[in-house]
Amino acid sequence: MSNFLISNLGPLISALIAAGVTFFLTRRREVEAGWRAMRLAGYQEFVRALSGIVEGRESNEAHIRYADAVNAMLLFAPPAVLHALDAFASETSVSNQSRSSERHDQLLSILLKAMRQDVFPQLPNPHGDALFRLRALPPRWITPAKTTDERIDAQ
């Protein structure tokens, strides 16, 4: 009986170890996929909020949404994204008297590439030297934004 127990104990232990390792690796992959989805959603909100403050579209609400999106990134973005975000925010700050559209586009490109690398780390720099630019509304579509007070008065 002891030979029977010993000969069957090895495969049983191996099966238990294999099941445990499979569970651990699957769970780890699920958690990483959840974090990746959360980061992607946060980055999408940032780009939407940023799009809301381009020339001709800005409003107080849009700036609040942008600030919220930037601050939310502090919770989930890795250091590479946060450094790129800080450089971009410094360039676009109202206190920066030497702003330039070229520098803006360079820093935006660095930031978006860092975000893409964070969400899709397996892609080896697929964008090369691509330069990202925000698109504004055509001048004929731009209407003066109503302030919150004007909206309240209209109701």
Q: What is the DSSP string of 7-75?
A: HHHHHHHHHHHHHHHHHHHHHHHHHHHHHHHHHHHHHHHHHHHHHTTSTTT--HHHHHHHHHHHHHHHH
pLDDT value of residue 115: 93
Lowest mean pLDDT among 26-30, 57-61, 69-73: 26-30
Higher pLDDT, residue 138 or 61: 61
Select, from the ranges 24-38, 46-60, 137-151, the one with the highest average predicted confidence (pLDDT): 46-60
pLDDT value of residue 21: 73
Here the tokens at position 140 are 């004929």
Could you tell me the pTM of the whole model?
0.70
Instruction: Provide, rounded to the nearest whole percent, the portion of the chain with pLDDT above 70.
Output: 79
Lowest mean pLDDT among 22-31, 57-66, 74-83, 114-123: 22-31
